[in-house]
Structure 1
Amino acid sequence: MTPDLGPDPADAPPLRWGILAAGGIARKFAADVPAHTASSVVAVGSRSAERAEAFAEANGVGRAHGSYEELVADPEVEAVYVASPHSEHRDHALLAIEAGKHVLVEKSFTRNAAEAREVLDAARERGVFAMEAMWSRFLPHMAALRDVIGSGAIGDVVTLVASHGQAIAHVPRMAQPELAGGALLDLGIYPVAFAFDILGEPRSVHATGQLTEAGVDATLAITFGYEAAVAQLSTTMLARTHNVAEIAGTAGRITAEATFFAPGAFTVHPHEGEPWRVAPEVVGGFQYQAAEVARRVHAGELESPLRSWAEIIGTQTAMDSIRRQVGVVFPGE
């Protein structure tokens, strides 16, 4: 079969973006969106005017604001990409929503499910679009993977295995509870969201792991239970793992190559017949989620069915359970 790769981001209507927080991930957004969509990044905001100006100059952004309040008040900004640390997502999303801006909030959406509900309730009340920036959900190979599974090519899914590990424990924000550090919200959310994508919300969540001296999760092993399937997930910030995923069904299996949540490829291994590979060519990657926001905003919709509000809350609820089971609590929770 020739699987569906999803819509071309270049075909999406235009949207004028502002970037909140001028960090590394914001640079990728600033590069990918204007290069591959009809949308533009018109402004950036930082707590430091000098940092905002340096980012704007380096990334071709027209206006720099020395505060987040100035950014969300900018009349040229239609949507805000929230790229601050996890601990600040709730406050910064609410700031943009109160200003009447649509929001794309970097994963994880918030620290916990209660904060996620608060943000989404505010978006509903204000009538603006809101979504988590789970970029992998919108990539061509993921659209193709869902299409292949939906076609019955591997039968009924029985098991899913996915891991994400990076040796980044030395990065300051990863180690700090006050910044909602740890492996789960930064790295583990990818395999967790992958399981939600393929199998939906689990019936049961079991977790074990090791914590750092500061009390954030360093390594986790997670099992999701479903009516007729099991997902085995793992994450660590102490070592780089293979970062692959496998989905096994009653008629075959799919192996998603490293890094499974980034633009990449997968191979279908049917029980009968020869293996076949799907490898879409992708330059960039963040443009696909930005294009989805633009399409939904222009259609007058408040959420995307590909990363719905119910799923965002479900994912945060599962991660709350994981953290409870291993004993991770962030300041202020």
Structure 2
Amino acid sequence: MTPAFPTARTPNPLDAPPLRWGVLAPGRIAAAFVTAVSRYTRQRVVAVGSRSLDRAQSFAAAHGIERAVGSYAALVDDPAVDVVYIASPHSEHATQAQLAISAGKPVLVEKAFARNAAEAQRVAAAARDAGVPAMEAMWTRFLPQTDVIAQLLADGALGEVTTVLADHGQYFTHDPQSRLFAPALAGGALLDLGVYPISFASFVLGAPDAVVATGSLTDAGVDAQVSMTLVTGSAQACLNTTLLARTPTTASISGTTGSLEISGPFYAPATLALTTADGRSVRPPDPIAGHLGLCHEAAHLAQLIADGATESPLLPLDETVRTLRTIDEIRRQVGVTYPGE
């Protein structure tokens, strides 16, 4: 008998009630977000804000957005904007999220949610005090495949989980002006790439009891490569992230009665291969492929807002803070501190 995959319970993103979105800080990931939302949801991106009006206007023209403004304050104060998507460098997330929250606007904040756990906690507290929804844009959590994995774990399909493996490495030419290499912009592999395997380990195992990390730094002092072991009870997560090489970006979960392999990139719609004593079964990627899967996080937040909820049950703010607390400890061990911390 071949092991079976459960059916994903993830709603069709087209079912989420349409809201009017404002994009704060246009760039590459913002372009991917707008494309996904426009193609696979009923959400409408109606405004884009940047410190550069020319940049905002250029982005608006490229994506058919009706309004462009030359300040973040003008974007969050726009009465025609229902919800704000923040796509700026990590160093700016907390300040800009609080700006939107103070204007009464729900926020979807790109990963990593903030530079550190203290900043994330302040944003979470501000959102809760204001009764405004806030959510990290860790898009993997909202993909249909993630719900399938959650059901397999809840059903004990793998037995007692003992080992989680995950990596995320990309090669980037060293550029001191790039946000990835700039300490002032909270650069480095961890917040941009490593947050994916760390969040994945949190999803599978929960909060770690112990963290062991080693890594290498760039000349500017941000993390170039980090290897980590997170220990939760009797289970271990072995994770790696790097700016120095393109790695397989795969993940796996192994337990006493089975294992699940997730093809690369594991954080995007991917192939799942389930192996148990009954045999091996393969689930192909979801039909909404690649970064178009960003549509699910937008639809999820829109539904939460329509339902009057203030936090996501799939990724609560406490877990977002906890993940950054883990990253804080990893940074402490490898010797990374951002200016002003």
TM class by smaller structure: over 0.9
**What CA distance in whole angstroms lies between the structure 2 residues aligned with 1:50 and 1:96?**
22
Equivalent residue number for residue 282 of structure 2: 277
- Check if 1:39 corresponds to 2:43: yes
Q: Map Cα deviations across residues 204-224 of structure 1 (whole Å, 9 max, x no partner).
A: 111111111110001101011
Which residue of 249, 252, 273 maps to 2:255? 249
- Check if 1:148 corresponds to 2:156: no
| Structure 1 unmatched runs, 5+ | none
**What CA distance in whole angstroms lies between the structure 2 residues aligned with 1:108 and 1:266?**
25
**What CA distance in whole angstroms lies between the structure 2 residues aligned with 1:124 and 1:222?**
32
**What CA distance in whole angstroms lies between the structure 1 residues aligned with 2:220 and 2:7?**
45
Question: What is the CA RMSD across the aligned residues, in angstroms?
Answer: 1.0
Which residue of 196, 207, 217 maps to 1:201? 207
Equivalent residue number for residue 78 of structure 1: 82
Shift of 1:129: 0.3
**What CA distance in whole angstroms lies between the structure 2 residues aligned with 1:80 and 1:235?**
29
**What CA distance in whole angstroms lies between the structure 1 residues aligned with 2:166 and 2:32?**
25
Which residue of 306, 321, 334 maps to 1:298? 306
- Quick check: 1:129–1:297 contact (8 Å CA) kept in 2? yes
**What CA distance in whole angstroms lies between the structure 2 residues aligned with 1:220 and 1:169?**
18
Q: Number of residue pairs matched?
A: 332
Between the two proteins, what is the percent identity of the paired residues? 50
SS in 2 for 1:275: strand
- Check if 1:158 corresponds to 2:162: yes
Shift of 1:149: 2.1
- Quick check: 1:45–1:67 contact (8 Å CA) kept in 2? yes
Which residue of 220, 226, 230 maps to 1:224? 230
Between 165-174 and 48-57, the greater mean CA deviation after superposition: 165-174
Shift of 1:4: 2.8
SS in 2 for 1:286: helix
- Quick check: 1:169–1:175 contact (8 Å CA) kept in 2? no
Shift of 1:126: 1.3
Between 144-153 and 80-89, the greater mean CA deviation after superposition: 144-153
- Check if 1:312 corresponds to 2:329: no
- Check if 1:263 corresponds to 2:266: no
TM-score (norm 2): 0.95
Query: What code does the residue aligned with 1:267 have?
Result: A
Between 139-148 and 159-168, the greater mean CA deviation after superposition: 139-148
**What CA distance in whole angstroms lies between the structure 2 residues aligned with 1:141 and 1:170?**
34
**What CA distance in whole angstroms lies between the structure 2 residues aligned with 1:170 and 1:149?**
40
Shift of 1:236: 0.4
Which structure 1 residue ranges, 4+ long, deviate > 2 Å from structure 2?
Answer: none
Change (3 A) 1:127 1:191: same
Equivalent residue number for residue 4 of structure 1: 7
- Check if 1:15 corresponds to 2:19: yes
Q: Map Cα deviations across residues 184-231 of structure 1 (whole Å, 9 max, x no partner).
A: 000000000000111111111111111111100011010111112111
Shift of 1:146: 1.5
**What CA distance in whole angstroms lies between the structure 1 residues aligned with 2:156 and 2:318?**
26
Q: Map Cα deviations across residues 80-107 of structure 1 (whole Å, 9 max, x no partner).
A: 0000000000111111111110000000
TM-score (norm 1): 0.98
SS in 1 for 2:172: coil
Shift of 1:169: 4.8
